[in-house]
Amino acid sequence: MQWKIHGERPIYENPWVNVWLTDVEQPDGRRWEYHVVKLRHLAVATVINNQQEILMMWRHRFITDTWAWELPMGLVEADETPGEAAAREVLEETGWRPGPMTPLIYAEPANGITDSQHHVFRADGATYVGPPTEKNESDRIEWIPLAEVRSMIDRREIVSSGSLVGLLYVLMDEAFRQPAQGVSPGDVPRK
């Protein structure tokens, strides 16, 4: 079921988004030109403090006219690794210098139309160094209790896929780290 690529050519290019036409052949032999959006890769940071709070930004996205909470994130520059980009974005967007970045999860958010890669990292702890240098990124910066994140997602207060991937992974990870409440292995009934 693998599609064959016979060639590709750019039809629009700039530093943020590129649109290419790709000459593809489907497994059934049908051949046609497919539009592909080529994007620079994204680094996302989940920064969690000792109080089980996650660093987030309240911001407006003009394209969808949406206000929502997001994790710090940004494009990976040519001269940096995704982990370096994630740490840089946290500092620039929030004024907090994160602890060491650990890879959390890799995602391709829309791989049927774009080659965009999302590299999501986790940092445990951060040090406040001053106001953010990126003045146009967010309205507020807050430490949000992890216990509130699920209900925020349900209320659509968090909608960015980069943020959702990172937050859902952290919530799942935290759930598996905590032992089940009030149940010991001997309490589990056998069939």
Q: Look up the pTM and report it.
A: 0.86
Distances (CA, A) of 133 to 31, 97, 107: 49, 12, 28
More confident residue, 159 or 173: 159
Q: What angle do CA 39, 75, 134 make, to 5 degrees?
A: 140
> What confidence category does residue 104 fall into, taking pLDDT thresholds of 50, 70 and 90?
very high
Residue-wise pLDDT for 24-55, tens only, equals 999 999 999 999 999 999 999 999 999 999 99
> What confidence category does residue 178 fall into, taking pLDDT thresholds of 50, 70 and 90?
low
